[in-house]
Amino acid sequence: MKDFAGRIAVITGGGTGMGRELARQLAAEGCNIALCDVSGGAMAETKRLCEAAGLSQGQRITTHVADVADEPQVVRFRDQVAKDQDTDRIHLLFNNAGIGGGGSFLVNERDEWERTFNICWGGVYLCTRAFMPMLRRADAGHIVNTSSVNGFWAYIAPHIPQTAYAAAKFAVKGFTEALITDLRINAPHIKCSVVMPGHIGTSIVANSRKLQSGNQGDEITAQEIVLTRARIASMGIDESKLSDEDVRKLMVERARRFLEEAPTSAADAAKIILDGVRNEQWRILVGRDAELLDGLVRKTPEQAYETDFFERFAKEAGWAVGGPTPPR
């Protein structure tokens, strides 16, 4: 699929970050876009940005509020796409929605762990199931599943557990690789790609905080501080020595650094992904850090979870010693 003009793309997590930039770049090429996110306000801004750049005659940008971890909402989302886009088929499905959290299987609460896993993996599964009939009706289709470098390296930094996110991203990678053969046999006009970003400048840290706590406002709540204390404790740090204000400042600074100090911007990541789709790459590494890490893990897999390995990689990739969390 070299040309996206006139095609229909479904993008989950389309309110911010890579989802927003994918929408903007696809819209600029004349593609019709169906956005999904839990934040209607964020999607409205994505739509405004797409429209401000100019749309071709008849081009549609539609927005749909849905939690991709909830199957009834995903089915309703699909039906709304068919109605609002006036179609029974789509050409591109970007399973991009994701959050962080549930780093420790032992320390973090089960609800937080499963929320992370069910969005990052369950959303990919449910959306692919729901939209497969519409992809099969198209003359050509492409499924793009966002995994992470955590999909081949279940690590983020020394003393920081990363179980829920890494488990989900491994599942996304394995599912996509298995789909290659399944689609080749049963729906050869549909391709698929697994995207594995390194540290990309997005709002995932701030967004994850809001989703895990149920707080959609900008003010940090007492519940969010409790969740953050649990995360700090999971690293083996005595969080009781920190005041609530200390924790609040750490949260704000962590989100700022992840967004502003990333080696790859969300816009650059979207371009790499779309170029990969055009070239029918089934495996799309995003960022120099992702390419570097992929090579190192393949070369010395037995050393991949040792502190020395991380320090060598972080120095060469330009990651902070504490590491970004999560690397997407």
Residue type, 143: I
Give the span between the Cα atoms of 323 and 135, in whole angstroms: 38
Q: CATH number for the domain including 81?
A: 3.40.50.720
Residue 226 lies in a domain: no
- Please report the pLDDT score of residue 230 as a whole number: 79
- Please report the pLDDT score of residue 237 as a whole number: 82
Is the pLDDT at 325 greater than 50? The verdict is no
Give the span between the Cα atoms of 73 and 30, in whole angstroms: 28
Give the span between the Cα atoms of 238 and 249, in whole angstroms: 17
Is the pLDDT at 307 greater than 60? The verdict is yes
| Burial classification of residue 102, based on how many CB atoms lie within 10 Å of its CB (0-12 exposed, 13-18 middle, 19 or more buried) | buried
Sheet of 141-146: strand order equals 61-65, 32-37, 8-12, 92-95, 141-146, 190-197, 283-286
Residue 220 lies in a domain: no
* Residue owning tokens 């389309």: 14
Q: Are 231 and 160 in contact (CB under 8 A)?
A: no
**155 classed as catalytic:** no
Give the span between the Cα atoms of 255 and 277, in whole angstroms: 30
Q: Are 175 and 268 in contact (CB under 8 A)?
A: no
Tell me the per-residue pLDDT of 31-71, one tens digit each, with 9 for 90 and over: 999 999 999 999 999 999 999 999 999 999 999 999 999 99
Lowest mean pLDDT among 117-121, 168-172, 242-246: 242-246
In sequence order, which residues have a C-beta less than 8 Å from that of residue 169 and are 6 or more positions away? 120, 121, 147, 148, 150, 151
Residue 20 lies in a domain: yes
Structure confidence at residue 208 as a pLDDT band (50, 70, 90): low
Q: Are 304 and 297 in contact (CB under 8 A)?
A: yes
Whole-Å CA distances, 158 to 61, 71, 174, 249, 299: 43, 36, 25, 22, 20
- Please report the pLDDT score of residue 324 as a whole number: 43
* Residue owning tokens 């199957």: 71
Tokens representing 135 are: 């992809």
Residue 41's CB is within 10 A of a number of other CB atoms, namely 10
- Which of the pair, 160 or 216, is modelled with greater confidence? 160
Structure confidence at residue 209 as a pLDDT band (50, 70, 90): low
Nearest to 81 by CA among 101, 70, 97, 65: 65
Residue 1 lies in a domain: no
Tell me the per-residue pLDDT of 229-262, one tens digit each, with 9 for 90 and over: 877 887 788 888 888 888 888 877 777 776 677 7
Lowest mean pLDDT among 15-19, 143-147, 228-232: 228-232
Check 125, 155, 165, 305 and give the catalytic one.
165
Give the span between the Cα atoms of 95 and 8, in whole angstroms: 14
- Which of the pair, 201 or 73, is modelled with greater confidence? 73
Total of domains in the chain? 1
Residue 233 lies in a domain: no
Mean pLDDT (whole number) for 296-308: 97
Residue 230 lies in a domain: no
Residue 141 lies in a domain: yes
Q: To the nearest whole number, what is the mean pLDDT of the chain?
A: 91
Residue 289 lies in a domain: yes
Mean pLDDT (whole number) for 92-111: 93
- Which of the pair, 187 or 252, is modelled with greater confidence? 187
- Please report the pLDDT score of residue 234 as a whole number: 76
Is the pLDDT at 204 greater than 70? The verdict is no
Pairing, β 141-146 against β 190-197: parallel
Residue 92's CB is within 10 A of a number of other CB atoms, namely 27
Query: What residues pair up with 8 in beta bridges, in sequence order?
Result: 32
Is the pLDDT at 203 greater than 80? The verdict is no
Instruction: Write out the residue range of the structural domain in which residue 86 sits.
Output: 8-205+265-317
User: How is residue 220 annotated by DSSP?
Assistant: P
Tell me the per-residue pLDDT of 264-295, one tens digit each, with 9 for 90 and over: 999 999 999 999 999 999 999 999 999 999 99
